[in-house]
Amino acid sequence: MSKIPLVAVDNVVKRYGAVTAVERTSFEIAAGEFLAIMGSSGCGKTTTLRMLAGLEAPSEGEIRIEGHRMNDLPPWQRETPLVWQSLALFPFLTVVENVEFGLRMRKVPAAERRKRALGWLDRMGLSEFTNRNIAQLSGGQRQRVALARSLVTEPKILLLDEPLSALDAHLKVRMQAVLTELQEELGITFVYVTHSQSEAFSMADRVIIMSRGRIEQIGRPVDIYRTPRNRFVAEFLGSSNIFEGTVHRIADATVSVQTASASFETPVNPQRSVSAGDQIRFVVPEDRIQISLAHPQPGANVMVGRIIGEEFVGAAVRVYVETDERQEIKVLVPDMTFRENHVRRGGRIGLSWKTESAYVLPEG
């Protein structure tokens, strides 16, 4: 007999009048998993989270936790606390009183709830702020108070709705580390909604990408990054170059594709059956392309273009190249390589990649 998942979302639909916010959706969450749900505004990710929290009821389908139907169960009976984007801390309570609040609602005796609240404040590095007013804390400190308030009840599932969006960049990185360490240490299941690809991909075991109320892809971050399911996912991630062309021939495990720019070789994708003459799309990640100032020798997977811009991203530089056919290519180059090649805007540059770096999209 298969093990019952901690959370099962089974054919769930959410409508608001004539508007469908979440299309028919199904997925499961394992105990102890860190699942991130990401997508642009209006994609349905927050609505999905609110249904898990019990703040919204599905119009159709069923949500189960440990095999028990949750559709009509109110939030306070679900043990699925939600850390809001706004944090929703009580300004009229002290730090320790905020952390105690959930325990007070559960009728935990005063001495016990104070002991547990102080323990969590110590774990969060906030012991010295116990009796402070919330307004006296920094953004990162308030974030940790909100986490302590949710975790002090020792839930099996913690829901987080863009909890880091209001923090400065350096605080976001620190809080990502705090969240990851807590989740691994406690073994609590996290369901984390975010706009940020860096947050989702750096912390989550699996990621759901949503668009227009539908799940476009669900999987491990590395699988989504390297093997996007369709054009939407590839464009949403923004890290792959998309090519369209006609299948010229198929030989062994390689597909020859003729595009407007050149002829390319890609590996066969077992998820996509193709024949000569078919129109297909394939992607090449920006970090798998090599650059050269010398004019490359003709061959498969070779292009020439003009540098139209560059963007510094930490230890790397994203170079934007426009081909003679007006296609824009992104290349992520280590900063040292960028400098050693004396890359300059307006200059001509050669691009090449290994056949195995390309990936034929299964859909779209």
Q: What is the mean pLDDT of the chain?
A: 90
User: Is pLDDT at 222 greater than 60 in this prediction?
Assistant: yes
d(CA 362, CA 272): 5
Q: Is the entire prediction scored with pTM above 0.75?
A: yes
Q: Which residues pair with 310 in a beta bridge?
A: 319
Domains of the chain: 7-226 (3.40.50.300), 231-287+302-360 (2.40.50.140)
pLDDT band at 341 (very low <50, low <70, confident <90, very high): confident
CB 11 within 8 A of CB 58: no
Q: What band does 335 get if pLDDT is binned at 50, 70 and 90? A: confident
Residue 296: pLDDT over 70? no
Sign of the CA dihedral 90, 160, 79, 154?
negative
pLDDT at residue 362 greater than cutoff 50: yes
Tell me how far CA of residue 74 lies from CA of 21, 61, 192, in angstroms.
21, 17, 21
Position 357 scores a pLDDT of: 95
Q: Return the pLDDT at 4.
A: 83
Per-residue pLDDT, averaged over 203-222, amounts to 96
Model pLDDT, residue 298: 66
Confidence of residue 1 (pLDDT cuts 50, 70, 90): very low
Q: What pLDDT is stored for residue 163 in this prediction? A: 84
For residue 170, is pLDDT > 60? yes
Residue type, 163: P
Give the pLDDT mean for 250-275.
90
The pLDDT score that the predictor gives to residue 153 is 87
Place of tokens 């110590």: 122
* pLDDT tens digits for range 65-88: 999 999 989 988 888 988 887 778
Q: Look at residue 36 and give its three-state secondary structure.
A: strand
Would you state the pLDDT for residue 218? 97
- Which pLDDT does position 284 carry in this prediction? 96
- Does residue 253 carry a pLDDT above 80? yes
Percent of the chain surpassing pLDDT 70: 98
Task: Return the DSSP state at 288.
Answer: G
Spatial CB neighbours of 306, under 8 Å, sequence gap ≥ 6: 321, 322, 346, 347, 348, 349
Please compute the mean of the pLDDT values over residues 39-44 and round it to a whole number: 92
| Tens digit of each residue's pLDDT (9 = 90 or more) over 6-40 | 999 999 999 999 999 999 999 999 999 999 999 99
List the one residue out of 225, 335, 340, 214 whose CA is nearest residue 283: 225
Report H helices in 159-215: 169-186, 197-203
Q: Which of 3-17, 141-155, 188-202, 272-286 has the lowest mean pLDDT?
A: 141-155
CA-based angle 333:338:341, to the nearest 5?
A: 130
| pLDDT over threshold 60, residue 2 | no
**Residue 292 corresponds to which tokens in the numbers above?**
């050269």
For 320, the token pair is 């934007």
Mean pLDDT of all residues in 98-126: 90
Q: Which residue has the tokens 């056949």?
A: 355
The closest alpha carbon to 240, from 269, 280, 282, belongs to 282
Mean pLDDT of 212-235: 95
What's the pLDDT band for 331 if we cut at 50, 70, 90?
very high
